[in-house]
Amino acid sequence: MKLSVFALFILMLAVQPASPQQTRTITPDELKTWVYYLASDEMKGRRNGSPEMLQAAQYISDVFRGAGLRPAVGDTSFFQEYSVKDRNNVTIHERNVVGILEGTNPVLKNEWILVSAHFDHVGIRQPVDGDSIYNGADDNATGTATVMALARLLTQPENRPQRSVLFAAWSGEESGMNGSRWFLGHPVIPIEQLKLNLNFEMTGEFKTLGDHLFIITGYLFTDFDDLVGKYTPADPWKVATQMQTPPGVFFASDNATFAFKRNGDKTELNIPAFTLVTTDDMNLIHKPSDEPEKMDYVNMASFVNYAAGLITWLAAGELKISWDRGAFEEFLKK
Ligand SMILES: [Zn+2]
């Protein structure tokens, strides 16, 4: 059999590509600028419905626009606006930020990867050691800055994913995942074409987990961690399996909105949706001391650059992800 050069080229496209080399990388200073802005005392903890939270949404949308994402709401706006009642039955206005990067492959572009993080936090509360501003640096200015950086990196010509990517900064997470739930009820993409959600939380702290390790919440119920392990760039990060954090954190962020559906009184696994975190130390979370100067921006940049390459790689391959429903049922019984 003789293959023409063109046929060989087509065959090469059809197999999982070798781990690509990135040229544009994100710098620690870019991440630091964004985290210091979002988690500054002036932002007053980005409480849902506050002017500061709406201001944070504007800041994120400016980066999305600057990166070259397409506005996902009516082709003109990055804001998905909605209202909910808070605990005191007062109506508050919230705002998700959503942008689109269309895939480069004419067939695969009809499938979607959702890259997300929540940007709200809990505001001003009970003072601890005289500090009442809950800055929410690692929860979740770092995850938000990760998504902003990924928008900047994946729009570079050499990184452009073959599948389409939806970038989302969710509001309302701290008050019950309102933002991602609103999105699921009012999706801007065909939700049956959503193949994977990578949600980012706490990507600025590294001391306890170990060098170049990150957690994929829910890794006990899926083969997704095996797929991720096949991506081997020059500066690889590995999936941690020794973490102290219980797998219950799988239920604690916006990935849960997509990962589960209720079937009568049963909870069933749905779309492959995971949160990626780089720490198993939850002691900093929801405290006024969760501040931007505690983050490690050099390690964070390394992780974000790895994640960008991972997403480009995942967006080009077969992307078959299975749930281990038996393991999930066992976990629910505990
Ligand atoms: Zn969080």
Is residue 49 situated within a structural domain?
yes
Cα gap 240→217, rounded to integer Å: 10
Q: What separation in Å is there between the alpha carbon of 118 and the centre of ligand 1?
A: 7
SS (H, E, C) 181-211: HHHHHCCCCCHHHEEEEEEECCCCCCCCCCC
Is residue 188 situated within a structural domain?
yes
Q: What separation in Å is there between the alpha carbon of 131 and the centre of ligand 1?
A: 20
Q: What separation in Å is there between the alpha carbon of 175 and the centre of ligand 1?
A: 11
Q: What separation in Å is there between the alpha carbon of 272 and the centre of ligand 1?
A: 19
Q: How many domains does the chain have?
A: 1
pLDDT for 230 equals 96
Amino acid identity for residue 285 in this structure? I
Going by C-alpha positions, the residue among 200, 186, 170, 181 that lies closest to residue 46 is: 170
Is residue 245 situated within a structural domain?
yes
pLDDT per residue of the chain (334 residues) written in tens, 0 to 9: 444 544 444 444 444 555 656 678 999 999 999 999 999 999 999 999 999 999 999 999 999 999 999 999 998 999 999 999 988 899 999 999 999 999 999 999 999 999 999 999 999 999 999 999 999 999 999 999 999 999 999 999 999 999 999 999 999 999 899 999 999 999 999 999 999 999 999 999 998 888 899 999 999 889 999 999 999 999 899 999 876 666 678 888 999 999 999 888 888 999 999 999 999 888 888 999 999 999 999 999 999 999 999 999 999 999 999 999 998 888 888 7
Q: What separation in Å is there between the alpha carbon of 12 and the centre of ligand 1?
A: 40
Pairing mode, strands 260-263 and 266-269 = antiparallel
Q: What separation in Å is there between the alpha carbon of 215 and the centre of ligand 1?
A: 14
Q: What separation in Å is there between the alpha carbon of 142 and the centre of ligand 1?
A: 10
Is residue 6 situated within a structural domain?
no
Q: What separation in Å is there between the alpha carbon of 47 and the centre of ligand 1?
A: 13
Query: What is the value of pTM for the model shown?
Result: 0.92
pLDDT for 2 equals 45
Is residue 2 situated within a structural domain?
no
pLDDT for 17 equals 55
The three-state secondary structure class of 56 is: helix
Token pair of 206, please? 């590294």
The three-state secondary structure class of 233 is: coil
In which residue are the tokens 């929860």 written? 139
Cα 57-257-266 angle, rounded to 5 deg? 165
Q: What separation in Å is there between the alpha carbon of 323 and the centre of ligand 1?
A: 24
Q: What separation in Å is there between the alpha carbon of 316 and the centre of ligand 1?
A: 29
Is residue 199 situated within a structural domain?
yes
Cα gap 176→109, rounded to integer Å: 32
Q: What separation in Å is there between the alpha carbon of 79 and the centre of ligand 1?
A: 20
Q: What separation in Å is there between the alpha carbon of 120 and the centre of ligand 1?
A: 8
219: domain CATH number is 3.40.630.10
Is residue 67 situated within a structural domain?
yes
Q: What separation in Å is there between the alpha carbon of 62 and the centre of ligand 1?
A: 22
Q: What separation in Å is there between the alpha carbon of 74 and the centre of ligand 1?
A: 28
pLDDT for 262 equals 86
Q: What separation in Å is there between the alpha carbon of 297 and the centre of ligand 1?
A: 18
Q: What separation in Å is there between the alpha carbon of 132 and the centre of ligand 1?
A: 18
Which residue range forms the structural domain that includes residue 81?
21-333
pLDDT for 245 equals 61
Cα 209-213-216 angle, rounded to 5 deg? 95
Is residue 324 situated within a structural domain?
yes
Token pair of 213, please? 């390790």
Going by C-alpha positions, the residue among 114, 122, 167 that lies closest to residue 141 is: 122
Q: What separation in Å is there between the alpha carbon of 246 and the centre of ligand 1?
A: 16
pLDDT for 106 equals 98
Q: What separation in Å is there between the alpha carbon of 116 and the centre of ligand 1?
A: 12
CA distance to 112, 192, 219, per residue, from 227 (Å) = 17, 22, 11
Residue 116 is given by DSSP the state E
Give exposure, 82-109, as e/b (b: 16+ Cβ within 10 Å).
bebeeeeeeebebbbbbbbbebebeebb
